[in-house]
Amino acid sequence: MRRETQHVLLLLLGGAVLRIAVDGTHLRYVRPGHRWLLLAAGAVVVTLAVVALVRDRRGPVPGHHHGGAERHVPWLLLAPVLVIALVAPPALGADAVGRTGSGGAVVRDGDVFGPLADGAALPVAEFVQRAAWDTGGSLDGRTVELTGFVVRRGAAVDLARLTIACCAADARAHLVHLAGDVGDPPPDTWLRVRGTVVTGSATAATGYVPVLAVASVEVVGAPPDPYEY
């Protein structure tokens, strides 16, 4: 591969990193706080590529000769780089949950959750934690609102959300089984549901997957940031 091609590939790689950091695509892969790290890394890569291109333009590399056909063929190698830059993979969804299963609730001391207002919008992970470990019964008789994507297990419809500590590679799934009339939504459909927990449903026997008795369900668009933290 010619030196110029290497530099251009490096330039496009840095540009792709900058693009996903600027337009918010990075939220499919990493925490929001990592945006500035991506911006810095992309800027460094782009700067190195530009410096190398300028340096090589000032004079040919000793012993290196350019042929007419040779000058154009290596540019075909840019095709996969352009695909990576322009077609970003989607965030993890139902397929990832199906492969890894529910991560379950992290064991913690009981009766550590604060009071909960009726109708409160909760992260799915917090709802699972409260249902599994809160001995104070903060969810009992309370209507809650949850937003997540659909995971199908046979005829069952579950609501899921993935939590990440650093990036999508360490994603952990939290599931809530939806009981009631929720229709027949396909996997990865984003829903906003309201309902009440079935007390005692989040146990070791169920994999710490609580049951939500659904009062209402609404199809919504995927949020810009699909993960919880």
In the chain, where are the structural domains located? 3-86, 94-219
- Is 2.40.50 the CATH classification of the domain at 94-219? yes
Asked whether 151 and 158 are in contact (CB, 8 A), the reply is: yes
pTM of this prediction exceeds 0.85: no
For residue 9, how many other CB atoms are within 10 A of its CB? 17
pLDDT tens-place string over residues 198-217: 999 998 888 899 999 999 99
Q: Given this model, what pLDDT does residue 68 score?
A: 47
In the structure, what pLDDT confidence band is assigned to residue 113 with cuts at 50, 70 and 90?
confident
pLDDT for 121 beyond 80: yes
pLDDT tens-place string over residues 158-207: 999 999 999 988 899 999 999 999 999 999 999 999 999 999 999 888 88
b/e burial code for range 54-86 (CB count within 10 A of at least 16 → b): eebeeeeeeeeeeeeeeeeeeeeeeeebeeebe
Query: Cα(226)–Cα(27) distance, rounded to whole angstroms?
Result: 7
- In order, the DSSP letters of 125-152 are HHHHHHHHH-TT-TTTT--EEEEEEEEE
Q: Given this model, what pLDDT does residue 37 score?
A: 94
Query: Cα(1)–Cα(74) distance, rounded to whole angstroms?
Result: 7
Residues near 73 by Cβ (< 8 Å), separated by ≥ 6? none
